[in-house]
Amino acid sequence: MNAAQRTDPLAAVTDWWQTSISDIEPGVIRLRGYPIEQLIAEISLPEMVWLLLRGDLPTRGQARLLEAALVAAVDHGPQAPSIAAARMAATCGVGLNNAVATGVNLLGDIHGGAGQQCMRLLTELRRRLDKGEQLDAVVAESVAEHRAKHSYLPGFGHRFHPRDPRRDPLLDLLADAAEDGTVSGRYLQIICELERQLGRDRPRPVPVNIDGATATVYCELGFPTELGRGLFILSRSVGILAHAWEENQDGRRIKGPIPPPLLPTYTGHPPRDLSPVRRWRDSTERTADHA
């Protein structure tokens, strides 16, 4: 029922958490107006994500791109801090929900934030292009600014992969989608020009990575920048869940970051004896008592 149609005296209470997403009554569940019984088995999970976030269903082409981006980012192994933390949490005997939350809570600006940061960069460059500036000029300026600050361009390069294997499938899908009119292709042009200029005059290229590729997909699909990290978390939660569950099945308890008998390198004070300190404190206290 629409909020404007309610005249009951409890409206001030029920309007407190008013929402345009879900309409729930006894025996009724509607999501963005669609009955849940019609959605079940009729739409995919990516289509449901789009429906809840955007308010309506995507085209098949849009849903395909969203699904590809979500699939591409699900996991990157236990060397990823979020995965490692979730696995360690699982060995401490906490519930699966706690282990997953431990991993998700590590996804911030440094680990997990590059996609949203790349979306912000692409959006700013697109804004300048829409004002009439030239692609090669705005990209050159952006690359120069990051180099002057000795900072990485978000969405490029990878500490593990010389060329991220997720780059080509996602950007190829985007190129096809731009050709058939599903997306504009403008953000794809920007990311490719950034890659070209970033690799110029270098002994090795600096390819687009998973963060840059998914950022381009999400920008082309019209998602707000602030949703970039949320979509990454939604995707990576699948991998975190799988790893936490696998570790839970192993049965080993309290696994630390490195296997025994190895211990972290100690860099503190050399071994020392507390006895001289204790004698000095006792002597100081006796002197103070007689003063």
pLDDT (tens digit per residue) in 158-190: 888 899 999 999 999 999 999 999 999 999 999
Task: Answer yes or no: are the C-beta atoms of 52 and 215 closer than 8 Å.
Answer: no
pLDDT of 287 above 80: no
- Can you give the pLDDT at residue 4? 52
Same domain membership, residue 165 and residue 22 = no
- Can you give the pLDDT at residue 96? 96
Same domain membership, residue 105 and residue 160 = yes
- Can you give the pLDDT at residue 12? 84
Same domain membership, residue 171 and residue 135 = yes
Same domain membership, residue 138 and residue 44 = no
Same domain membership, residue 220 and residue 167 = yes
| Helix, coil or strand: residue 23 | strand
Same domain membership, residue 149 and residue 112 = yes
DSSP 156: B
Least confident of 137-146, 186-195, 258-267, 277-286: 277-286
Phi-psi region of 126 (alpha: psi -120 to 50; beta: other; left: phi over 0): alpha
In a domain, 290, yes or no: no
Tokens of 13: 């209470």
- Can you give the pLDDT at residue 227? 97
Q: At 34, phi and psi to the nearest 5?
A: -85, 130
pLDDT (tens digit per residue) in 193-217: 999 999 988 888 999 999 999 999 9
Least confident of 55-59, 205-209, 223-227, 256-260: 256-260
Write down the pTM of the prediction.
0.90
pLDDT of 5 above 70: no
Same domain membership, residue 74 and residue 53 = no
pLDDT (tens digit per residue) in 10-42: 888 889 999 999 999 999 999 999 999 999 999
In a domain, 289, yes or no: no
What share of the chain has pLDDT > 70, as a percent?
Answer: 97
Q: How far apart are CA 34 and CA 37, in angstroms?
A: 8
Tokens of 261: 């008998």
pLDDT of 282 above 90: no
pLDDT (tens digit per residue) in 103-158: 999 999 999 999 999 999 999 999 999 999 999 999 999 999 999 998 889 999 88
- Can you give the pLDDT at residue 172? 98
**Alpha-carbon 24 to chain mean position:** 30
Q: How far apart are CA 171 and CA 54, in angstroms?
A: 23
Q: What number of residues does the chain have?
A: 291
Q: How far apart are CA 63 and CA 74, in angstroms?
A: 17
Same domain membership, residue 213 and residue 166 = yes
Task: Answer yes or no: are the C-beta atoms of 34 and 51 closer than 8 Å.
Answer: yes
What is the count of structural domains for the chain?
2
Range of the domain at 224: 58-256
Burial profile 130-143: b = 16 or more Cβ within 10 angstroms, e = fewer: eeeeebeebbeebb
Q: What is the CATH number of the domain that holds 130?
A: 1.10.230.10
